[in-house]
Amino acid sequence: MTRKSTGKNRQAGKKRSGKKAENASAHWTENLLASPVRLTVFCGAVLVVSLAGGMLIGGVVKNNGSADGKVADGTPLAAAVPPTTPAQPEKGYQPYRPADRELYSPEPEKPAPEPDLASTQKGQEKVASLPPAVKTPPATGLEGGLPTWRRYAAAAVPANGQPRIAIVIDDVGLNRQRVRDLAALPEVVTMAFLPYANHLEDSVALIRSEGHEAMLHLPMEPSNASVDPGPDALLDRLSPAEIRERTVRNLDRFGSYVGVNNHMGSKFTANEDNMRVVMDILAERGMLFLDSRTTPNSAGARLAAARGMPTGVRDVFIDNVIEVPAILSQLEEAERLARRNGLSIAIGHPHKATIEALREWLPKAAANGFVLVPISAALAPEGKGARG
């Protein structure tokens, strides 16, 4: 058989196959149209297939052009989409917020005139009765046989078994009007001054003349790297020599204060080696240490106690929510803890709402049997209370 005849046979075979397929298709269509049941089933099947195809296409579009949950570069979709839950701030401390002009600007926009403490005989007597402020406390922390924390302690009312509450206001000094507002509070309050504020000697003299107590609010590094603890802060990466240098420089910014509590410091206070450097200096100077407890991992109070320093830990932050009702609620929590434990230590900040709440709450707390004490009396060792 020749190639030519073979090709003709193949073409004839294809024509016969095509004719059979065409006849079969026509026969199937006729049967489908002749039966309503078959036609209904067929239409339903087409609808299901169409819906499934639409869902598949939608999934591909949603996944940035890929049906396997990956973006165009092959990155898994879950890794490519940022989380919708915002990062939460560290629990337990009030962040330093330079944008809060009302509180954190060095001066109020319309400062009130400075009070003249020597303008009246009462003011002269108060100032004359205060120990002189010293820029650099003695290395031993002793003068006249008294450690620094006792030498500059505010007078404390004897508790006589009544529950005691110590109110500490952090971040003081950057707004001088707030210093005056705090000084006018009707019961004793301890104020922790930031070392980079201005007019520190004058501010400390004012609040002490009104019977309040001063501390240094020592800036330390927080765990959240986006939060600024302020200039000359103690940072985790510093060498022991640099930590000592910064600590001394901050301590020497002003005098007439009883000791230190940490400003932020959730990262730094958890580093025991670094905290030893700080505690050795505070112990040399005869100071107390209040652990603001911005992290449960802080080594501060434990290291202070090991050196025989008066020390303790904050119980309540009163103004994480800066609204008077919320602050009053936290002060009630401080009352509850004082009734249960005999003492509670509450920390707040110089917000207008905080000062307003304290102005309302302090007289009521005293009338209800709570004794308001300075931090020196709260942390004083048994039988060695603060002067007064």
Domain match, 58 and 124 both: no
Domain match, 232 and 346 both: yes
Q: Tell me whether residue 86 is in a domain.
A: no
- pLDDT band, residue 103 (cuts 50/70/90): very low
Domain match, 141 and 22 both: no
pLDDT digits (tens, 9 = 90+) for 24-75: 555 555 555 555 555 555 656 655 555 555 554 444 434 433 333 333 333 3
Task: For residues 22 and 214, give the distance between their C-alpha atoms in angstroms, rounded to a whole number.
Answer: 102
Predicted local confidence at residue 194, as pLDDT:
97
pLDDT digits (tens, 9 = 90+) for 200-211: 999 999 999 999
For 3, counting Cβ atoms within 10 Å of its Cβ (0-12 exposed, 13-18 middle, 19+ buried), the class is exposed
Domain end, chosen from 15, 41, 62, is at 62
Domain match, 54 and 185 both: no
Name beta bridge partners: 169. Answer: 191, 348
Q: Tell me whether residue 334 is in a domain.
A: yes
Q: Report, as an integer, the average pLDDT of 214-234.
A: 95
Host domain of residue 17: 3-62
Checking phi first, is residue 256 left (phi over 0); if not, alpha (psi -120 to 50) or beta? left
Task: For residues 276 and 299, give the distance between their C-alpha atoms in angstroms, rounded to a whole number.
Answer: 9
Higher pLDDT, 135 or 11: 11
Domain match, 305 and 196 both: yes
CATH of the domain at 222: 3.20.20.370
For 108, counting Cβ atoms within 10 Å of its Cβ (0-12 exposed, 13-18 middle, 19+ buried), the class is middle
Predicted local confidence at residue 155, as pLDDT:
95
Which stretch of DSSP H or E encloses residue 376?
helix 375-379
Q: Tell me whether residue 96 is in a domain.
A: no
Q: Report, as an integer, the average pLDDT of 79-84.
A: 34
- pLDDT band, residue 136 (cuts 50/70/90): very low
The residues, ordered by sequence, that sit 6+ positions from 60 with a Cβ below 8 Å of its Cβ are: 66, 67
Predicted local confidence at residue 53, as pLDDT:
55
Q: Tell me whether residue 211 is in a domain.
A: yes
Domains in the chain: how many in total?
Answer: 2
Domain match, 32 and 172 both: no
For 226, counting Cβ atoms within 10 Å of its Cβ (0-12 exposed, 13-18 middle, 19+ buried), the class is exposed
- pLDDT band, residue 126 (cuts 50/70/90): very low
Domain match, 41 and 177 both: no
Domain match, 223 and 136 both: yes
Cα 84 to Cα 81, 87, 90, 162, 226: the distances in Å are 9, 9, 18, 49, 19
Predicted local confidence at residue 37, as pLDDT:
53
Q: Tell me whether residue 373 is in a domain.
A: yes
Task: For residues 173 and 196, give the distance between their C-alpha atoms in angstroms, rounded to a whole number.
Answer: 9
Mean pLDDT for all residues in the chain: 77
Q: Tell me whether residue 246 is in a domain.
A: yes
Amino acid found at 226:
S
Predicted local confidence at residue 381, as pLDDT:
81
CA angle 255, 258, 264 (to 5 degrees): 95
Q: Quick check: 94 pLDDT over 60?
A: no
Residue with tokens 């709402």: 353
Q: Tell me whether residue 225 is in a domain.
A: yes
Q: Report, as an integer, the average pLDDT of 257-282.
A: 98
The tokens describing 325, both together, are: 């009702």
Domain match, 7 and 137 both: no
Predicted local confidence at residue 145, as pLDDT:
80
Helix 352-367 × helix 176-183 angle, to 10°:
10
Domain match, 213 and 291 both: yes
Domain match, 56 and 121 both: no
Q: Quick check: 2 pLDDT over 80?
A: no
Domain end, chosen from 24, 44, 62, is at 62
Greatest mean pLDDT among 107-111, 127-131, 140-144, 233-237 lies in 233-237
Q: Report, as an integer, the average pLDDT of 289-310.
A: 97
Residue with tokens 């002067």: 387
Domain match, 204 and 289 both: yes
The tokens describing 204, both together, are: 């400390």
Q: Tell me whether residue 77 is in a domain.
A: no
Residue pair 119/125 in contact by the 8 Å Cβ criterion: no
Domain end, chosen from 16, 36, 62, is at 62
- pLDDT band, residue 15 (cuts 50/70/90): low
Q: Report, as an integer, the average pLDDT of 181-191.
A: 98
pLDDT digits (tens, 9 = 90+) for 301-348: 999 999 999 999 999 999 999 999 999 999 999 999 999 999 999 999
